[in-house]
Structure 1
């Protein structure tokens, strides 16, 4: 979380709110079970705007956070940028969400 705070200038309370409201997701790793959020989910202003809806679609379809993170980062040459997360970053959320809906069925 300190890295998120440093990148965005957000307070710890704000970062926790983003996580609670699922604007960001992460996984716990390591011996101290630290929360890791992929840097690709962030901009200097905060969470990537298009991420929340995509996470919601996949979560509603039964995907766990680990699976969502893996799917978003999986190589896919048919998407702009080569993956779902890079397509979201490029502004192509419609196609990514369409595919997420298909995955969630």
Structure 2
């Protein structure tokens, strides 16, 4: 099992579930639904321990799908969204037997074949490349 101190060395910023709720403009119950649906993953960390999500899972809404960016949203709309390519990637990792902490560790660890972290590659729009790489972990 991955130690949260190891994750803290890899992940720059973390958000609690209420923080995710505020950023996305939804209630905490809907954030928990995102967790249940596998759109995001979280680990318990801190003192006291609370469920926390890597902040990099959320992107400006116009960049939610890096392969097809849109225009920035207008005033009054949520400025943030979950990176769309994350869900399928988390599914591939889950199918390979990775738990939430192991998935986060893999996503934020440098990968020689990708030439960057899988998370950086996803945020740059390289979801197919990342998923092919994740499938080799099975």
Same fold (TM over 0.5): yes
CA distance in 1, matches of 2:47, 2:21: 22
State the 1:77 CA deviation. Answer: 5.1
Q: Which runs of 5+ in 1 are unaligned?
A: none
CA distance in 2, matches of 1:31, 1:2: 16
Partner of 2:108: 73
Q: Which runs of 5+ in 2 are unaligned?
A: 1-16, 61-79
Larger Rg: 2
Q: With the length of structure 1 as denominator, give the TM-score of the two structures.
A: 0.89
CA distance in 2, matches of 1:28, 1:48: 21
CA distance in 2, matches of 1:2, 1:57: 27
Query: 1:82-97 maps to which residues of 2 (within 5 A)?
Result: 82-97=116-131
State the 1:79 CA deviation. Answer: 2.6
Contact 1:8 1:43 in 2 (8 A): no
Structure number having the greater helix percentage: 1
Deviations 1:30-76 (A, max 9, x none): 34320010001112432210001011111111111111100000013
Q: With the length of structure 2 as denominator, give the TM-score of the two structures.
A: 0.69
Partner of 1:61: 96
Aligned Cα root-mean-square deviation (Å): 1.5
Give the number of aligned pairs.
103
Q: List structure 1 segments (4+ residues) > 6 angstroms apart after TM superposition.
A: none
CA distance in 1, matches of 2:91, 2:113: 23
